[in-house]
Structure 1
Amino acid sequence: MHRFFKRKDPEPEEQKIENVRVEEFDFSQLPTDPGLRTPICDYNANIRDQVRRAYLQKGPCQSSGYEFPKRKFGVSQCRRFNPSWFKEFGDWLEYSIEKDAAYCLYCYLFKTAKGKQAGGETFVSEGFTNWKCKDRLNIHVGQHDSEHHKARMDCEALMNQDEHIQSVLHKQSRQMRNDYRIRLNASIDCIRVLLRQGLSFRGHDETESSLNPGNFLVQLEFLGAHNKEIDDVILKNAPKNCKLTSPDIQKEIVNACAIETVNVIIRDVGDSLFSILVDESRDVSTKEQMSVVIRYVDSSGHVNERFVGIEHVASTTALSLKAAIDKMFSRYNLSMSKLRGQGFDGASNMQGKFNGLKALILKENPCAFYIHCFAHQLQLALIAVAKKNLPISNFFRVVGDVVNVVGASCKRSDILREKHSDFIVEALERGDISSGRGLNQETSLQRAGDTRWGSHYSSLISLISMFSAVSDVLEIISEDDSSSPDQKTEAFNLLESILSFDFAFNLHLMKHVLAISSELSTALQKKDQDIVNAMDLVQVCKHRLQMIRDEGWDSFLEKVYHFCEQHYIGILKMDDMFTRWAPRGRPHRNRPEVTNLHHYRVDLFYGVIDIQLQELNHRFSEAGIELLLCVACLCPQNSFVAFDKKKLMQLAEFYPQDLSRFDLLMLDDQLETYICDMRFNKAFQGLKGLGDLSEKLVMSKKNMVYPLVYKLLTLALILPVATASVERVFSAMKIVKERLRIRMSDDWMNDSLIVYVEKEIFLTIDNEAIVKRFQNMKTRKEQS
């Protein structure tokens, strides 16, 4: 940068740091007259252009830039000045034709940069005119520490901003920020994968020499191995105090992910009305956890059930649960006044009439109507069948024992699969079953669950399909010398029990009954199921049971006979007298003698179906739920045949907080227009439920035409149907908090569960939002 000067004096070290920044230079003092000065040579103009460009690019204000004149110098225009005399000073000297004077470019530009004038007024403002004294120019230049040289160095520094110490530090800081940003995004991407799959983060040994440092570090290494830009800034190549891999950083990033996920849900809820679904359960560390799901209708008219958090409660009393709900509502700015429904599983601490959670919420908000979980009611109805009918109760005990004995060891399970495979091959050869893709897959006996009686249906189906293999395994166990006497006796008794006509009859009877209720149970698991459709499904279930009772005996008995013939089970003659079992030495207490037909048809077939119908009618009684009767009038099926204006007005009176007296008067007239429009509008024909009606109203913008009707429809939709969404959370909790992660803290588990359960929403959240949330949590060593 010294190539413009013939004199190359050494520069002190301290002068290299005292460079002038563009921001420090005052351009406001430059002359505005473009014709005032003319450069001695083209190089002077080049210097001025560079100064101006440096200022325009990095200066604080572009409007104060100096307008440099075009060259007007010519020998004929001079009076006494001869430029050839001053060629050695052409890099800094400039001449004014009008004043016939010379000026110092450097000293003029920086006459106020240091607070003093370099070189005096002669070469700055007055102008040099003593052309005979050429030595005055050398005196002005002076030694290496003169004011002129200081001004020259400042000018060079101004033109070489990239070499300024602050520019170097700025470049370094910008590179560090870029590296930090890449490193943070890499950590977030790895955490995204682990959260979606519900996997653990840390390993037992996370040292650099470890072969299994944990899922997080392995993911990060894998990501770096496939991206050089990431590999250059992570792990070994990252600063030791900013690797972004510590457990605390991982938890803070996961917390940021969970907060952003819940915020999306809360924004989607907005000011809408909603219901809550609550249930409690113990986790693997024997901590009692309460899960909360909110049910609402979004802006598109779609019903959503979203998980918002899980709380550890010290006890399961109603007061403790209510305090936990209040705490969660406060955290997410949810108002109890917006609550319009509550759904629980029917436990006493939940639905207690006086001190239950339901009662505590109703005291605070009378419009938060309670709906007993439909799936739980169905569960109780199925349990009642086994409790009230002794032969059926004994039948399920035998089924449970068979599953336990056959699946007691790996050896027996292998024998069962081998026998079942041989049976399938023989059946295929005989043509009894067909082959095809997805058919005849390897299977095993399914164990029924205690909390879901619908699982008994799968257990009975597997037992029927593997009945021959199960019989062979029990026979092998009873004849195996390596088995203990108790095992041999138990296997022999079970084999004798399942090869009886009584067991075959009960097996097919309960399979038929549970098949009907299984379809209802599956339908109740849907998140967008509305209360009217649920009641319709219950009615369908009742109707099918009644049809089997009235018309299904003959076809059912034929299936039992065919099964007995296939598995060499003795078939009883229905006209023979039924032999009742009684303890040895005790009389039959004068019981009336009945035929086999009467016992199996009346006592068992009719008896079981009647108990089931009785329980369904008792637990799903429409007459006992006035609110549901009114809601059913909104159903759009069969051209709104269920529409009843009187009952809909009665439904509106249940919600005085949402519909005032003035609104009721308007609703009375609006319903008349609404039903006429719906019945004559082809777009609203063929709708199946309230959910379809709501979405269609929003799509056609009819919700704005009939706002009060739409509000009534929304209130009906947010009524909870089943607590299946809450139970899914507990199923997910078994994956996230497994036995090896038993020491997870409550916050860590809550954040992980939110993202895992609501992964559909989490996938829509951009890394940028997570980065901002993470950065704002606390002061970081680096900022992206």
Structure 2
Amino acid sequence: MDYRTRLQASIDCIRHCVRQGHALRGHDESEPSKNRGNFIELLKFHARGRQDVERVVLKNAPKNLQMTSPDIQKDIVHAIASEITKGIICDIGDDVFSILVDEARDTSIKEQMAIVLRYVNEEGYVMERFLGIAHVADTKALTLKMEIESMLVTNGLSLSKIRGQGYDGASNMSGKINGLKTLILAENSSAYYVHCFAHQLQLTLVAVARHHGDVGGFFKAVSDLINLVGGSSKRMDKIRECQAAKVVEALCRGELETGRGLNQELGLKRHCDTRWGSHFDTLLNLTRIYSSLIECLDIIIWEGNSDAKADASCLLRLVQNFDFVFILKMMIGVLSITSELSSTLQRKDQDIVNAMHLVRGAKFRLQEMRDKGWDSLLDSVFSFCNKESLPIVNMDDLYFPLGRLRRKSEEITNLHHYKVELFYTIVDMQLQELNSRFDEINTELLCCVACLNPDDSFADFDKEKLLKLATFYPNEFSKDDISHLDLHQLDAYIFDMKTVERFAGLKGIAELSREMVVSKKHRVFPLVYRLLKLALFLPVATASVERAFSAMNFVKNTLRNRMSDEIMNDFLVGYIESDILDSLDDECILHTFQNMKARRGSL
């Protein structure tokens, strides 16, 4: 009983540390130390006031059975990770699944590959669960495939059960000749590949910025501005002071409302081509602290060193130019559409059909902005210029670009330049890139999947296309199954769906899946539900993998860069899948730990 109490106390403390991603060991764990590390200190706190625990732990425990050594800590973390992984595998059962894969470097410059499983549980919910992370010697497609297969086999899974692949579009992943997707498709023809939707959106924005000189120059100026102002703590403090004073003035004039979460302190967010949505956040904050930035640049011109003065002077001329304000407002309008779409696509339970509709919706909104948004954009630009006392150009005057001889420039009006050469061109480039990046929306497989959509009382239902969809998965549908779908089940299914009130107003096939399980219709129409699950297996975005890498950088940081791959993987499983960790039974962890190897104590 003493051994069980001691082990239970250690497990409780380690569960908390894993749940929060905290380090276990300290720099000095000897008894005279004032800080013996998170685990020991937490164990001391846990035992305080609890006589049953205090009398059997730490100095009151036998010297050879204290259950606090580094090896014991690692074994407990491994036992926790094993139980979590076992729960995920049991949740999948004998069903099929999809994989989301990406690789990134950790803080010790080691290439790590993360795998996330996407599946539909017994309740009809789409789940994306972290399976594990593994160190790879290189990023060749064959190496990645071997590591994926090894990790799947270790956990009792198989490549033959994969029904979808999701990657970020890198050549080693999505290459048509020797890419990872091609190698897996060679062994499993039903493992269909979908390029990450959120990644494609970011590529669309980057392509527009690079292919249009004015927009590329604008983002270059924004980057220089962030480097000049955001690189100095003193300059950022000055911006905060100026912004705080302006907020107080606006509140006194009644221009701003007070309340929880309003008027928060803002900084300059650094945008990045590989960070989804960062461009929109950067530009939005830029408009909010614009006047404070101008004041800061003025101060740099007067008080800064020679290099900083020159940079600030050039940037001040650029930022106070009408062209800068126009592109700023225009790009905020464009990015508000794509950024909202990107955030929606990153939901774990997002389904491919709804994602396709969201992309089409974004294209429609961009086209609507092109057709009807010019006047509102111009009003917004003029209003901003008046508020900040900036010069406003006359749209009927001739346009003369900066840095070009007037005699060599074409005679065009300002209206033609800003409306046609900038506004129409940028929106058209965005639409063109969206159409080219999301070409798989027009493929036969996804067109067939779209017929399962329950929107508008199953208006997209097409029996022939759904029968065609079944032929894409020969391992799930035999000829007899397809015949039964054709003659009986599909007709009965669509009649039932359209006549039962609870299925009216559903949005997306994810909601349809959950509702079919709740109403037991998945047992009445098992073949249709199988089609529905296969459609849900198709991945939308690799956001879950990106979140895993964010967790990796938090768990294995510069102070913990000597962490081994095994303990990092076990830590990440518990930290990422914290909801499963919270539901774990202590008895399972106790027995898993006890059975890992011979122990001095016995339960």
How far does residue 287 in structure 1 lie from its aligned partner after superposition?
0.3
Percent identical among aligned pairs is 55
- Matches of 1:499 and 1:413 in 2, distance apart? 20
Partners of 1:384 and 1:623 lie apart in 2 by: 20
Of 524, 542, 547, the match for 1:723: 542
Describe how 1:240-389 pairs up with structure 2 within 5 A.
240-389=63-212
Q: CA deviation at 1:388?
A: 1.2
SS in 1 for 2:128: strand
Residue 432 of structure 1, CA deviation: 2.5
Residue 17 of structure 2 corresponds to 194
Deviations 1:202-228 (A, max 9, x none): 111100000011000000111111311
Cα distance in 2 between the residues matched to 1:302 and 1:381: 31
Q: Is the 8 A contact 1:423 1:468 kept in 2?
A: no
Partner of 2:253: 430
Could you tell me which runs of 5 or more consecutive residues in structure 2 were left unpaired when the two chains were aligned.
none
1:579-598 correspondence to structure 2 within 5 Å: 579-582=400-403, 590-598=408-416
What's the counterpart of residue 40 of structure 2? Answer: 217
SS at match of 1:763: helix
Letter in 2 for 1:723: T
| Equivalent in the alignment of 1:55 | none
- 5 Å-filtered alignment, 1:477-516, equals 477-480=300-303, 483-516=304-337
Equivalence for 1:605: 423
Separation (CA, whole Å) in 1 of partners of 2:562 and 2:125: 39
| 1:783 and 2:593 correspond | no
- Aligned equivalent of 2:388, options 567, 571, 574: 567
Equivalenced residues, count: 602
- Aligned residues of 2:276 and 2:342 also touching (Cα < 8 A): no
The structure number with the bigger radius of gyration is 1
What is the deviation of 1:425? 1.4
Q: Distance in 2 between matches of 1:287 and 1:636?
A: 46
1:591 Cα offset (Å): 4.3
Alignment of 1:119-158 (within 5 A): none
Q: How does 1:60-71 map to 2 (within 5 A)?
A: none
> Contact between 2:118 and 2:126, CA under 8 Å: does it hold in 1?
yes
Q: Is the 8 A contact 1:622 1:629 kept in 2?
A: no
1:582·1:588 contact (CA, 8 Å) conserved in 2?
A: no
Q: Which ranges of structure 1 fall in alignment gaps of 5 or more residues?
A: 1-177
SS in 2 for 1:638: helix
Map 1:551-566 → 2, pairs under 5 A: 551-566=372-387
* Distance of 1:767 and 1:566 partners within structure 2: 62
Give the residue type in structure 1 aligned to 2:513: S
Name the aligned partner's letter for residue 395 of structure 2. Answer: M
Shift of 1:430: 2.5
Distance in 2 (alpha carbons) for counterparts of 1:292 and 1:257: 19
CA distance in structure 2 between the partners assigned to 1:466 and 1:582 by the alignment: 29
Matched, 1:682 2:501: yes
Distance 1:336 1:621 in 2: 27
**1:310-333 CA-partner distances (Å, limit 9, x unpaired):** 010000000110110111011001
Query: 1:529 matched to which residue of 2?
Result: 350
Task: Return structure 1 stretches of 4+ with deviation > 4 angstroms.
Answer: 587-591
- 2:281 is aligned with 1:462: no
Partner of 1:413: 236
Q: Is the 8 A contact 1:383 1:453 kept in 2?
A: no
Q: Secondary structure at the match of 1:577?
A: coil
- For the Cα contact (< 8 Å) 1:402–1:494, is it kept in 2? yes
SS at match of 2:583: coil
Q: 1:763 to 1:580 in 2, by over 3 A?
A: same
Alpha carbon RMSD of aligned pairs, Å? 1.1
Answering whether residue 589 of structure 2 is matched by residue 770 of structure 1, we say yes
Cα distance, 1:450 vs. partner?
3.2
Paired with 1:622 and 1:213, the residues of 2 have a C-alpha distance of: 56
Q: In the alignment, what sits opposite 1:741? A: 560
When residues 623 and 520 of structure 1 are mapped into structure 2, their CA distance, relative to the original with a 3 A threshold, is: closer
Match of 2:463 in 1: 645
Task: Report how far residue 667 of structure 1 moved.
Answer: 0.8
Q: 1:520 aligns with which of 341, 352, 356?
A: 341
Cα distance in structure 2, aligned partners of 1:376 and 1:453: 7
Contact kept, 8 Å, 2:118 with 2:539, in 1: the verdict is yes
- 1:589 CA drift (Å): 8.3
State the distance in 2 between where 1:642 and 1:659 align: 22
Task: Return the letter of the residue paired with 1:349.
Answer: N
Q: Quick one: distance in 2 between partners of 1:622 and 1:746?
A: 37
Give, in whole Å, the separation in 1 of the partners of 2:598 and 2:261. 57
Question: What is the DSSP-based 3-state SS (H/G/I as helix, E as strand, rest coil) of the residue aligned with 2:146?
Answer: helix
1:546 to 367, 370, 386: 367
| Inter-CA distance 540–623: structure 2 relative to 1 (3 Å threshold) | closer
Give distance in 1, aligned partners of 2:520 and 2:262: 48
CA distance in 1, matches of 2:51, 2:314: 68
In structure 1, C-alpha distance between the alignment counterparts of 2:298 and 2:253, rounded to whole Å? 24
Post-superposition offset of 1:274: 0.4
Q: Could you tell me whether the CA contact under 8 Å between 2:23 and 2:38 is conserved in 1?
A: yes
**In the alignment, residue 546 of structure 1 is paired with which amino acid?**
Q
Report how far residue 590 of structure 1 moved: 4.7
Please tell me whether the aligned partners of residues 277 and 293 of structure 1 are also in contact (alpha carbons under 8 angstroms): yes
User: Where do residues 88-167 of structure 1 align in structure 2 (5 Å cutoff)?
Assistant: none
Whole-Å Cα distance in 2 between the matches of residues 725 and 336 of structure 1?
A: 20
Residue correspondence of structure 1 range 3-42 to structure 2 within 5 A:
none
The match for 1:707 is 526
The structure richer in helix per residue is 2
- What pairs up with 1:616-635 in 2 under 5 angstroms? 616-621=434-439, 624-635=442-453
**TM superposition shift of 1:258:** 0.2
- Residues 218-251 of structure 1: per-residue CA shift (max 9 Å, x gap): 0011111131111100110000000000000000
How far does residue 337 in structure 1 lie from its aligned partner after superposition? 1.5
In the alignment, the residues of structure 2 paired with residue 369 and residue 532 of structure 1 have an alpha-carbon distance, to the nearest angstrom, of 15
- TM-aligned CA deviation for residue 405 of structure 1: 1.2
Normalising by structure 2, we get a TM-score of 0.99
TM-score with structure 1 setting the length: 0.76
Provide the C-alpha distance between the structure 2 equivalents of 1:623 and 1:339, rounded to a whole number of angstroms: 21
CA–CA distance in 2 between the matches of 1:224 and 1:577? 80
3-state SS in 2 of match to 1:435 = coil
Contact 1:261 1:754 in 2 (8 A): yes
Q: Is the 8 A contact 2:202 2:273 kept in 1?
A: no
Task: For 1:607, give the aligned amino acid.
Answer: T
What is the DSSP-based 3-state SS (H/G/I as helix, E as strand, rest coil) of the residue aligned with 1:642? Answer: coil
2:484 counterpart letter in structure 1: M
Alignment correspondent of 2:268: 445
CA-to-aligned-CA distance 1:488-547 (integer Å, 9 cap, x gap): 111111111111111100110111111100110000110000000001110111111111
- Helix, strand or coil: the match of 2:252? helix
Which is bigger in relative contact order (C-alpha 8 A, separation at least 6)? 2
Which residues of 2 match residues 173-192 of structure 1 at below 5 A?
A: 178-192=1-15
Report the alpha carbon displacement of residue 336 of structure 1 after superposing the two structures with TM: 1.5
Distance in 2 (CA, whole Å) between partners of 1:423 and 1:540 is 38
> Alignment partner of 1:782: what SS?
coil
Per the TM alignment, residue 449 of structure 1 is displaced from its structure 2 partner at its CA by: 2.6
Counterparts of 2:86 and 2:537, CA distance in 1? 20
Following the alignment from structure 1 to structure 2, what is the Cα–Cα distance between the partners of residues 622 and 236?
Answer: 64
Structure 1 residue 205 and structure 2 residue 24: aligned? no
For 2:115 and 2:369, the matched residues in 1 are separated by 40
CA distance in 1, matches of 2:436, 2:232: 43
Q: Residue type of the partner of 1:320?
A: T
Question: How far apart are the structure 1 equivalents of 2:258 and 2:189?
Answer: 60
Q: Equivalents in 2 of 1:314, 1:494: separation in Å?
A: 45
CA-CA distance at 1:622 after TM superposition: 5.6
